[in-house]
Each structure stands twice: as C-alpha cells, then as structure tokens.
Amino acid sequence: MSIPASATTELPGALAGARPRRPARWVRRLLRNPLSAAGASIVLLLVACALVPGLLAPFPEDAGPSVHFDRTYQPPGAVHWFGTDEVGRDIFSRTVFGARVSLLLVVAVLGIALGVGVPLGLAAGYWNGHWSSTGIMRVTDVFLAVPPLALALAVTAAFRPDLGSAMLAISFTWWPWFTRLVYGEVLSRREEPYVEAARALGQHDGVILFREILPNVVSPIVVKATLDVSFVILLGSGLAFLGVGAQEPTPDWGAMVARGRTFLPVHWWMSTMPGLAIFVAVMGFNLLGDALRDALDVWDQ
Amino acid sequence: MRDFLLRRLIQVVPTVLGLLVLIFIVSRVMPGDPVRLALGPEATKDQIAAYQEKLGLDRSLPAQFGHYVAGLLRGDLGESIRTYRDVRLDVRDFLPATVELVTTALVVAVCLGVPFGILSATYPNTWVDNLSRLVAVPGVALPRFWVGILLQVGLAYQLGLFPIVGRASRPPQAITGLLLLDATLTGDGAAFVDAARHLALPALTLALPTLAQVARLTRAAMIDVFRRPFMLVHAAYGVPPRRLVWRYGLRNGLTSVLTLVGMTYGALIENAFLVEVVFSWPGLSAYGAAAVLAKDFNAVVGVTLVVGLSFVLANVLVDLLYGYVDPRIRYN
C-alpha cells in the first residue's frame, strides 16, 4: 500500500503522529530543534576536521615538527586565530589536527568496548542463572567499582604513555558499562512473545539472540554510545593532560593544554584555545546525544 | 535496618576480592618489568634475581597473589621506587588532602545543585529554570583541568583573590590532616581562613561540572515526581505548595538524586587526579599521577586500591541512605 507524498504532508497533526516512524522524520525533527542542530553541526565540523585537516588548517605543516622562530608567542589575531606557541606553530592549525586524535580515540575505544561488552551482555542476559552469566556479571561489577580514570592510569603504568596505551586503557574500563546495559535490556526482552515464538519454532539460540533480541536492544546501545563519546573525549583529554596520550609533535588537545600551562599567565592562549576545543567538542556530542535519545525514545511519545 | 546493613556488607566481599584480583592482574601480569625499572639498565643478572626474590616475583602467580593479599592484610603496601618510603606512609600523608578536596566539592555540588534543580522543576520555563539550564547544559561539558586553569589565571593571577597553588601557607597543628577540621579543633581562626582560601578554587573547579549534572538530574527527577497522582491528591487536599514540594516531592525524588550522588563521588575522586595536578594540591591523586609516569608500581597499586575501596564504600553508604529515605528498599 502506498500513499502519495502530497497526501501524507496534508495529514492533520494527530494522525501524522500515529503513522509508523521513519528515519527521515526523526532526522528532520532532530534538526528542527536549534540546540540539536547546533550539536549536529559541531559534530559534522569535527568529523571534517578529523578527515581532511589539511584542507581546513591554514598552516598544515605546523601539525608536525616545524619551527618558526620569527613568529613565536603571537597572541590571537587575524593571521593566527588562536595565536602561536613557543616555537611559532599556529595553534589553530594544531587544534584542527587535534580533532583527528580525539575522534580516533573515540572510535577505537567505543569499537573495542562495544565489541567486547555487547556480546558478553547478550550472553549473560540470555543465559541468566547459568554460572557463566553470573561470572560475567560479577566481573562486570568489579570493573564498575573502580573509577575509570584511576584504572586507566594504572593500566597505562604498564605501557609506554602513548596514544595506543590510552586507547587500550580506556577500552579496558569501558566495556562493562555496555555489558551491564545490554544485560538489563536482554533480561526484559527474552520472555517476550516474539522470542518465545522463535524458540517454539526451534530456532538456534544464536539466531534468536542476534536476529530477534539484538535488533530490539540496538536503540539504547546507540544512545549510550553517542552520550559516551563526550565522556571518552573528556577522559582521553584528561589522560593526555597527565601525559598519557599522543606524544609531541602530534597535536593532542589535552597535551596542548598541559604544555601551555608552563607559559601562563602571560601567554594564556596556549592553554585556553585547545581547552576551548575540548569544551566545544564535548558540548556538540552532548547536544547530539540528548537529541538522539529523545528522537529514538519510543516510550516518550 | 541492621539486617539490611549486614546483607549489604556481605555483598561487598566478592567485589573487594575482585578488585584485589583486578589490581593484581594490572600490576603483575601486564607487560612492563618493574625490576628493570627499579634497578635501571646497568643491573647485573644476580642483582635482578636478588631483587626479584625480594619482591617475590620468582614465585608462581597464585603464590604471589597470596603473598600480596597477606601483605595487604598486614597493611603492607610495599616500598615506593620514587619516594623510597613505605607506600602506606605516603598514602597516610597524602590521603587527607584528597578527602578534604573531594568532600568539599561534593558538599558544594549537592548543596547548590539540588536546590537549583528543585527550583527549576518547581518553576519550569521561568527565569530561574532558564538560568539554571543555561549553566547546566554547558557545565557538564567543561573539562575540569581547563576550568581550573581559567580560574587560576583569572581569579588568582589577575585579580589576586585566591592563592595560586598549594594547600596552606600556614597549616594548623596537625590532628586529622584535614586542615579545616584541624583549624576548627584547635580554634585557629587565621589558619582556617588560610586553608579555606586555598581550598576554594580547587573545590569549585572539581564541583562545577558535577553541580551542573546534579541540578539537571534533580530537575528531571522532580518533574517526574510532580506528575505522579499522589502529588495531585495532596494538592487537591490543600497541602501548601511549599510543603508539597519540599516534603512530599523531595522525599520521593531523592532516591534518584542519591544514586547520582553515589556515581558523582566516583567522578569526583577520579577528576581529583586532574584538579590536584593543576593546583599543585598535595593529595593522593597527584601522587598517583606522578607514580604512573615514574612506573612506581607499588604506589600505583596502593592508590588504585584506596580509590577503589573508597568508591565501593561510598556505594554501600548510598545504599544505606536509600534504606533510610525509602523504607520499601529496606524491607525488600
């Protein structure tokens, strides 16, 4: 059955709300809210910075080990929007390139955390009561009992303090949150009629888990992952600030703030500008995450 | 209530045991050779073997774990390769500063955040609500180390309102190690003011994003409570609005706020790592951060253990408060 496009747009409000939701609509609704639209724009901008920093940064060579003694310590101005640092590198260009490090960290951490946490949560929820499920959840509880930054720091002590260690350390502390979330979701879904029907039809457990249950718990996972992006950026920049992250000359926002501290209070821009980038990035992902949560929350309507 | 407490404490045992195993794994099984680090590249084979024996690293892993737990039970955390002191002594010396900082920040965040949240929930879409949301939404996105630097430059360097770094220029006589408390106990007014001025910026820095979060979630919880039928019934019976909000509403909204405060405590402890570094605050977190970079394993283990244990303890406390606030939980 198909409805002509002209007919759907003329439906009165109450009826329009009763139609099944389609992606195009929630995307449109998401963008109508100015705050959500701002969040989406910030995130797009960050992704652009991460993908093609060379095109957006006025001095791309400054992301590397370049030195310009003729323009050190310049305050923010028309040429150098964020000023220059102690070896004359353009801070704006370095901040643009810094987005790449931050987003790389986010992708790695969430990739590993989802890859480990979701299957464990699915298994623990589906075979709840079995000893392996109890085991998984006890281990999860232990991880959740340690503040992530403390644990991540302890883990990095065993490695060189570089970006790879930071990724590994944060992932190491992050997967249990997904396990806990998915476990709870699966517990509430596994007795639902469609699961019982699949079981009655003699489907394999694996098929039931991945074809019947997983698609129904995807939206809380997506929302949590989006909201987590900002936490991971904050945690990663915090680690970098303490010295565990991408090493010089690679630009890393947290490390740039830490380096700039040496030149306070006179050359204030060296710490302030990269910090501003962290703030804006986190803000963007927060706004987008909130918007996604509202848009995907079926119960809210 | 006693049974509830007992049951809750028994549940903690496996978590603490798991925490010990986790920290043991992180410190002993992961790559990285503490012996080489401690002795340096010049050490001979014999020296390495002797040091391994001293640390017990030549034994099997289960034996090492037993040795490690036995040491912990005696209160022995080993020696730091950075400060050349017992880690236990270091922890004892550095812990009070962190406790003071985190507790103050928690009090500030809760005492300002909860009323703000309640006010914006009570008067939604008025200037109070808009103002608190305007602060709360960006507030949670602030990286604490950055806020610390901004406050330091603005209020301490430029305006000279607060000391720039450190904990006290004139510490009171030491009793508990908590300066504000010590100054109160000894009746030393000048030391109290001095300690409070040093504490103000670090505590505010640590509290700010948490305050925003507390305000935001309190608002959501209270709005949720206001929608429930029992509030309408009370209102219909003519209960005055103020009593309705602060007595009936708050008590019911408080459980979700308490959960948040529990989680918040963990967030504050770990963010103390950053704030202490910014303000050269002589606390456990700054000590731990330095230990990590120096690969001082015993110190890292000690700090992680103390932080983890206090986090577990905080969660138990929150559960007990739940039982107090909400009798339904106590008897379940």
**Which tokens belong to A85?**
């640092």
Q: Which residue of B has its CA nearest to A236?
A: B143
Do residues B144 and B274 touch, judged by C-beta distance below 8 A? yes
Alpha-carbon torsion angle A153, A159, A164, A166, nearest 10:
0
Interface test with B, best of A134, A137, A241, A290 (most B CBs within 10 A): A241
How far apart CA B141 and CA A196 sit, in angstroms, is: 43
Determine the pLDDT at residue B37.
66
Determine the pLDDT at residue A241.
92
Verify whether the Cβ–Cβ distance B304 to A150 is below 8 Å.
Answer: yes
Determine the pLDDT at residue A50.
92
Contacts of A272 in chain B (CB under 8 A): 146, 149-150
Taking the alpha carbons of B305, B311, B317, B323 in that order, is the dihedral positive or negative?
Answer: negative
CA-based nearest distance B80→chain A, Å: 14
What stretches in chain B show pLDDT beneath 50? none
* ipTM surpasses 0.85: no
Tell me whether A291 touches chain B (CB under 8 Å): no
Determine the pLDDT at residue A10.
46
Determine the pLDDT at residue A150.
81
Closest alpha carbon to B222 in B123, B137, B109? B123
pTM of the model: 0.84
Q: Which of residues 208-267 of A touch B (CB under 8 A)?
A: 230, 234, 237-238, 241-244, 254, 257-258, 261, 264-265
Taking the alpha carbons of B278, A175, A244, A246 in that order, is the dihedral positive or negative?
Answer: negative
Determine the pLDDT at residue A299.
47
Helix axes B144-151, A253-260, angle to 10 degrees: 20
Interface test with A, best of B274, B280, B319 (most A CBs within 10 A): B274
CA-based nearest distance B184→chain A, Å: 32
What stretches in chain A show pLDDT beneath 50? 1-17, 298-301
What are the tens digits of pLDDT across the range A245-261?
A: 888 889 999 999 999 98
How far apart CA B34 and CA A166 sit, in angstroms, is: 20
Determine the pLDDT at residue A4.
46
Q: Which of residues 260-299 of B touch A (CB under 8 A)?
A: 266-267, 269-271, 273-274, 277-278, 288-289, 291-293, 295-297
